[in-house]
Structure 1
Amino acid sequence: MSTDNVVALSAHKDKPPVEKLPPFYWVHREYDRERGEAGVYFYRAPTEKNPNPAPVCISDVIEVTAETRDNDNESWGKLLSWCDRDGMPKKWAMPATSLYANGGAEAISILVNGGLRIWDEKAFIRYLKGQSHQSRLTCVTRCGWFKPAVYVTPVRTFNPIDKDMVVYQVNARVKPEPFCGTLDTWRDEVAALCVGNSRLVLAVSTAFLSPMLTMLGVDGFCFHYVGASSSGKSRSMTVAASVLSDPKEYIRSWRATDNGLEGIAARHNDGLLCLDEIAQVDASKAGEIAYMLPNGKGKQRSTKNGTAKEIQQWCLALLSNGEIDLKSHADSVRKSTYAGQEMRVINIPADNCEFACFEHLHGEANGALFADLLDKAVRENHGTAFNAWLDHLTINYDTIKEGWRDFKSAFLNSVAEDPSGQIGRVAEKFAIAAYAGELSSEITGWSPGTATEAAKVCFTAWIERRGGTESHEDNEIVERIRQTIVRDGARFQDVNKPCEVPTARIGFIDNDDYVIPAEGWKIIFAGLDARRAANVLQEKGIAKNERRYLPGLSRIRCYVIHRDSLAD
């Protein structure tokens, strides 16, 4: 008899019923003297040559404990359970498609890698194909919030109502985040060292706020710690990453393509993404990537037949660091940044505290020794705080949402004159960091007000580094004309040398005046509103609108900028 039509059965009893006629599969969970090891056995049909064939063990014990599908009743799969050779229990929400491509090679590879022994691959795949179960679970292919108060991770669903309703299903077994120490030791040895250090407190608060963005309706953003080498900015990221995992494994590099970072961002949905050293990303694409990551949406792509693929989406908080900021990196290849980018990538000075990135060394003699103390604390204590935080968020979901509006209003009114403008939108990011830091005080052990004060200190530092509270566009206009004169001085023709016309001329020099005709003005402010640029610079007393006699152009209306008007 062919085995192609064998019906596979999973047993609640260890032995098959006497009346059961082969061929069939049976799971024997215990060692048996006659049969041998526990495992999945194939009972073959008798033949003339072999009227009483012995059952054949095809694999270790593995069972389907539920069937899975998404909200649209698509993406069907099976939840598999087994123990590896060390007796460690394993689970995998397997997409059904893994059984049908290349003879089930994908499923076999993942299961073998997970410690399952398989002796007959073809029989094993037939066994799994035939398995069914009455229990139904909802599967998702993206971590994060599935619905209000339900947060899904690769290994656990945080849901105070029913912890087994939703599972994470992808074409791979995802390992749980590594951890070391306990929540208490993390609180005493890591979080305690953050107290008195605004950059450390803000970084840890950012880790806690990462799953709150979606639930509170706040857009994604990036805190970028910028400062000199060995200033301590990387330690801030390391301490933040310790909330979730082992920082050595969790922190990623900016050195990746935009497509690669898109995939990484999707895997960190509703979580924290840590990217080290912004100078390693392609400067020509830095602005686009910095906009894409907080914006939460990847590129539109097509399938082979021309139909549109599903766009990858995510919502995340991003921690970044580097010796330069986004604008400086983009400027190195003459790429412009815009308000939308710089409102999402918020520069935190990381080298202007009393001890570079630190204000309080907790008894250590210098910043280097304190950094070493942080390294040791994080190495020995990590990966224990985030699960406790997700428990708190899901249990207190409604209360936390209700408290956000009043907290945000109080914070914004205390730091921003115009909470509705660009400054106010950035202040909102510091507000949610403060809110998360205050709510997580039972986990961190911080006193009330610690996170709020740190957020305010860092917000003030951002304002000072930015150069004040004026709009980004106004600052960009002033910086654009200043940089043009510094970098492109050779493109201005001396009015006293009418025969010496420079290549790609954009204006003229008349003693201490830079005289720029309308066409040159448009070139200088390409990508910006040239008319608005003129208004802004005239209001600031930097530019004047005059008529001038210019070589080869007669008397025309121009914008005139005196050399001294651009002095800092």
Structure 2
Amino acid sequence: MTISTTATDISNQITLSELMKLERFCPFTINGIAYELHLDGENQGVYATYGKQTVWLSSPVQIIATTCSKDGNNWGRILQWHDTQGSIHRWVMPTELLAGTTAAISRELLSKGLHISQRPSDLNKFVNYLQGYPTDQHILCVDRIGWCDGAFVLPDCVIGGEEEIIFQSSLGVVCAFAESGTLDKWIEHVSKPSQGNSRLIFSLSVSFAGSLLNLVSESNGGFHLRGSSSIGKSVALDLASSVWGNPEKYRRQWRATDNGLEGLAVTHNDGLLILDEIKQCDQRSIGDAVYMLMNGQGKTRATKQGSAKAVSAWRLLVLSNGEESLASIMSQGRQAIKAGQEIRLADIPADAGAGLGIFEQLHGTESPSTFADNLKVAAASYYGLAGKAWLKYLTSDLNGATRRAHELIRRFMEEHVPSGSNGQVMRVARRFAVVAAGGEMAGEANITGWQFGEAMQATARCFQDWLDGFGRDNSFEETEILRQVLSFIQVHGSSRFQSMTSDSTKSTYNRVGFYSTELKEGIQSTFPVPHSDQDYETTYSIFPNSFRNEVCKGLDPKLVERVLIKRGWLKPENERVATRKIRIPDHNNPTRMYVLTPKAWDEEGEG
């Protein structure tokens, strides 16, 4: 089904019970023009009579109810008619369209099988007919999918809840929610073959977990599967997409403007937004895009009159993939990554480490590529059933589902998160815990065919792999400081540092300091037999200005000092002074320098 550019077709959305038992139409008059509707006979249609002239406006169309949002805004009218094949159509027309040209309304109705006179004067009368048609029925409408009063609103149906609700949106997007096949076939060919593969089960669990965020009061967040091409990353995204719709349409691209991503976020509220190939996004704007998606709020915009429009809002999970990490792409665009961005989009190595790319088990299939092809074909054949089954399970006992989710989240945190973890790790860990809960509960609801504990273990494996990359003992800021300092020495150590023992007449271009290489402590001289390189260690001494302006570029130098001293990478003069006075070539007096100890290279930047 398609969400139109102007409003919402609800032909298959809801029964509306007694509301759809149409009453006899009573003619009405507006500005001296009498409107009549003939449902039966040879003269079926909508007619307008003024003076002695009667004109045909359209084939029969009725307004069966008015709609508005909870706050009394976003008014609409539900139109109903039959096409020439006898199929019934219902469309929620935002009344704001009545203030524009007649073309938008005419185009929408014509595309849905209603015949309309195209004479401009007739079109104007037809619009007046739609606006003036009397009805006493009224229904609550919502303008975005997701949770509403215990029900879950989708573009084509509302699951659960006691109050009748319809979806009405003016967003010009293609609806990605669709169904094909049966749930049993999806379980057999998509879900069960994922068993034994941590990245696949995790990705499917993320798809279920999006609907839990609101229930457990968890904020937005995302996961990024990073790895080289042809290892199966796209398979994970296709499987996750198949929970809700056709992977080809449900999976979207990072290559979009901020406005485009904002629109996508709104249409995936309380669910999962899947974004393919992060490198397609502009290097200079990817950081802002991640912030916007994870903050759950769009930009503030003004109306033509200058007043502020309502700001778009959403709550969702994001599943992304790409060959590079967010940090890598931002660095290529000369953008400094912040802690908030890194932990909002948790970077998980897509390669599961079994020599099979993203896979760990092929279940008898001859090769990873064949296994991937089989899964992609299955996901493109059976889709959309698991998502609706999941929502029916949740809404059948919303309080019970919420309690169960909290139990599973607590279990994950207790069993799989290292004690004493810092706040940043705990924040990401809880997001993984919600994913584990989603996968486990979907299994308990007989939606996946998985055994108890499979989703928990797969999610724990992905969490541990994320934690290994992020750093177990440090905050994000500390990890990034250590990486940046180490990277500076690796890039410039042989070109911009002068040897303490070199000929002073030999110039070092754009010099930032000096280095000295000595035997490690405890190693005895074997002269004249040379030592191996492993027996030596190097100390780098950096000019204060170079340290602050280049090594610490984009960072707080004082924070860098504290972190390096804490890790033993920097040798201070005392507790108050981070630099040391040392003798360097061509200087008569000792000079203050930042002295980086060999410990930094011994640790190889880990931690």
Question: Common fold, TM-score beyond 0.5?
Answer: yes
For residues 398-425 of structure 1, what are the alpha-carbon distances to aligned partners after superposition, in whole Å with 9 as ceiling and x for unaligned?
1122233332222111111236632222
Equivalent residue, structure 1, for 2:223 = 223
Any unmatched runs of 5+ in structure 1?
1-9, 48-52
Q: Aligned equivalents of 2:104 and 2:440: distance in 1?
A: 45
Q: Aligned equivalents of 1:129 and 1:515: distance in 2?
A: 79
Q: Percent identical across equivalent pairs?
A: 34
Q: 515-524 vs 445-454, which deviates more?
A: 515-524
Asked if residue 60 in structure 1 is aligned to residue 59 in structure 2, the reply is yes
Asked if residue 483 in structure 1 is aligned to residue 487 in structure 2, the reply is yes
Structure 1 residues 377, 494: CA separation in 2 closer, same or farther (over 3 Å shift)? same
Q: Aligned equivalents of 2:322 and 2:176: distance in 1?
A: 29
Task: Give the alignment of 1:301-320 within 5 angstroms.
Answer: 301-303=301-303, 306-320=306-320
Question: Per the alignment, in what secondary structure is the counterpart of residue 414 of structure 1?
Answer: helix
Q: 183-192 vs 149-158, which deviates more?
A: 149-158
Q: Aligned equivalents of 2:424 and 2:470: distance in 1?
A: 12
Superposed displacement of residue 167, structure 1: 3.2
Question: Per the alignment, in what secondary structure is the counterpart of residue 359 of structure 1?
Answer: coil
Superposed displacement of residue 509, structure 1: 4.2
| Amino acid in structure 1 at the alignment position of 2:137 | S
For residues 343-392 of structure 1, what are the alpha-carbon distances to aligned partners after superposition, in whole Å with 9 as ceiling and x for unaligned?
11112221233221111212211111111110221121011221222222
Asked if residue 126 in structure 1 is aligned to residue 128 in structure 2, the reply is yes
Equivalent residue, structure 2, for 1:179 = 179
| Amino acid in structure 2 at the alignment position of 1:63 | Q
Task: Give the alignment of 1:87-236 within 5 angstroms.
Answer: 87-102=86-101, 104-119=102-117, 120-147=122-149, 149-162=150-163, 164-170=164-170, 177-236=177-236
Asked if residue 522 in structure 1 is aligned to residue 548 in structure 2, the reply is yes
Match of 1:472 among 473, 476, 479: 476
* Contact 1:412–1:428, Cα closer than 8 Å, also in 2: yes
* Contact 2:152–2:158, Cα closer than 8 Å, also in 1: yes
Superposed displacement of residue 480, structure 1: 0.8
Structure 1 residues 133, 526: CA separation in 2 closer, same or farther (over 3 Å shift)? farther
Superposed displacement of residue 203, structure 1: 0.7
Q: Aligned equivalents of 2:401 and 2:246: distance in 1?
A: 28
Q: Aligned equivalents of 1:316 and 1:220: distance in 2?
A: 5
| Amino acid in structure 1 at the alignment position of 2:93 | M
| Amino acid in structure 2 at the alignment position of 1:282 | D
* Contact 1:232–1:357, Cα closer than 8 Å, also in 2: yes
Superposed displacement of residue 172, structure 1: 5.9
For residues 424-461 of structure 1, what are the alpha-carbon distances to aligned partners after superposition, in whole Å with 9 as ceiling and x for unaligned?
22221111111111111211122211211111121122
Structure 1 residues 332, 56: CA separation in 2 closer, same or farther (over 3 Å shift)? same
* Contact 1:152–1:168, Cα closer than 8 Å, also in 2: no
Q: Aligned equivalents of 1:173 and 1:234: distance in 2?
A: 23
* Contact 1:155–1:175, Cα closer than 8 Å, also in 2: no
For residues 479-518 of structure 1, what are the alpha-carbon distances to aligned partners after superposition, in whole Å with 9 as ceiling and x for unaligned?
0101122334555566664895755x65444564322244
Structure 1 residues 498, 479: CA separation in 2 closer, same or farther (over 3 Å shift)? farther
Match of 1:29 among 39, 42, 46: 39
Q: Aligned equivalents of 1:80 and 1:175: distance in 2?
A: 20
Structure 1 residues 298, 516: CA separation in 2 closer, same or farther (over 3 Å shift)? farther
Structure 1 residues 131, 279: CA separation in 2 closer, same or farther (over 3 Å shift)? same
Q: Aligned equivalents of 1:39 and 1:64: distance in 2?
A: 14
Structure 1 residues 554, 257: CA separation in 2 closer, same or farther (over 3 Å shift)? farther
Question: Per the alignment, in what secondary structure is the counterpart of residue 564 of structure 2?
Answer: helix
Any unmatched runs of 5+ in structure 2?
1-20, 518-537, 573-579
| Amino acid in structure 2 at the alignment position of 1:522 | R
For residues 158-187 of structure 1, what are the alpha-carbon distances to aligned partners after superposition, in whole Å with 9 as ceiling and x for unaligned?
23312x234323266975733210122112
Superposed displacement of residue 302, structure 1: 4.1
Task: Give the alignment of 1:506-545 within 5 angstroms.
Answer: 506-509=512-515, 512-523=538-549, 524-545=551-572
Structure 1 residues 289, 13: CA separation in 2 closer, same or farther (over 3 Å shift)? closer
Question: Per the alignment, in what secondary structure is the counterpart of residue 447 of structure 2?
Answer: helix
| Amino acid in structure 1 at the alignment position of 2:582 | R
Equivalent residue, structure 2, for 1:5 = none
Provide the aligned length of Structure 1 versus Structure 2. 540
Q: Aligned equivalents of 1:90 and 1:173: distance in 2?
A: 20
Q: Aligned equivalents of 1:510 and 1:483: distance in 2?
A: 19
Q: Aligned equivalents of 2:232 and 2:173: distance in 1?
A: 36
Q: Aligned equivalents of 1:307 and 1:56: distance in 2?
A: 42
Structure 1 residues 308, 126: CA separation in 2 closer, same or farther (over 3 Å shift)? closer
Q: Aligned equivalents of 1:352 and 1:309: distance in 2?
A: 46
Question: Per the alignment, in what secondary structure is the counterpart of residue 320 of structure 1?
Answer: strand
* Contact 2:142–2:167, Cα closer than 8 Å, also in 1: yes
Structure 1 residues 40, 362: CA separation in 2 closer, same or farther (over 3 Å shift)? farther
Q: Aligned equivalents of 1:541 and 1:67: distance in 2?
A: 70
Q: Aligned equivalents of 1:90 and 1:11: distance in 2?
A: 14
Equivalent residue, structure 2, for 1:50 = none
| Amino acid in structure 1 at the alignment position of 2:484 | R
* Contact 2:352–2:360, Cα closer than 8 Å, also in 1: no
Superposed displacement of residue 68, structure 1: 1.4
Equivalent residue, structure 1, for 2:82 = 83
Q: Aligned equivalents of 1:125 and 1:405: distance in 2?
A: 52
Equivalent residue, structure 2, for 1:344 = 344
Question: Per the alignment, in what secondary structure is the counterpart of residue 222 of structure 1?
Answer: strand
Q: 263-272 vs 86-95, which deviates more?
A: 86-95
Asked if residue 548 in structure 1 is aligned to residue 582 in structure 2, the reply is yes
Superposed displacement of residue 237, structure 1: 0.3
Superposed displacement of residue 45, structure 1: 4.3
Question: Per the alignment, in what secondary structure is the counterpart of residue 289 of structure 1?
Answer: helix
* Contact 1:412–1:419, Cα closer than 8 Å, also in 2: no
Q: Aligned equivalents of 2:132 and 2:218: distance in 1?
A: 46
| Amino acid in structure 2 at the alignment position of 1:206 | V
Equivalent residue, structure 2, for 1:13 = 24
Equivalent residue, structure 2, for 1:374 = 375
Structure 1 residues 530, 553: CA separation in 2 closer, same or farther (over 3 Å shift)? farther
Structure 1 residues 82, 39: CA separation in 2 closer, same or farther (over 3 Å shift)? same
* TM-score, structure 1 as length reference: 0.88
| Amino acid in structure 1 at the alignment position of 2:595 | V
| Amino acid in structure 2 at the alignment position of 1:144 | G
Equivalent residue, structure 1, for 2:531 = none
* Contact 1:143–1:168, Cα closer than 8 Å, also in 2: no
Superposed displacement of residue 316, structure 1: 1.0
Superposed displacement of residue 14, structure 1: 7.3
| Amino acid in structure 2 at the alignment position of 1:543 | L
Q: Aligned equivalents of 2:581 and 2:143: distance in 1?
A: 65
For residues 66-119 of structure 1, what are the alpha-carbon distances to aligned partners after superposition, in whole Å with 9 as ceiling and x for unaligned?
1112222222221222233443333222111101212x2222222222222212
Superposed displacement of residue 564, structure 1: 6.4
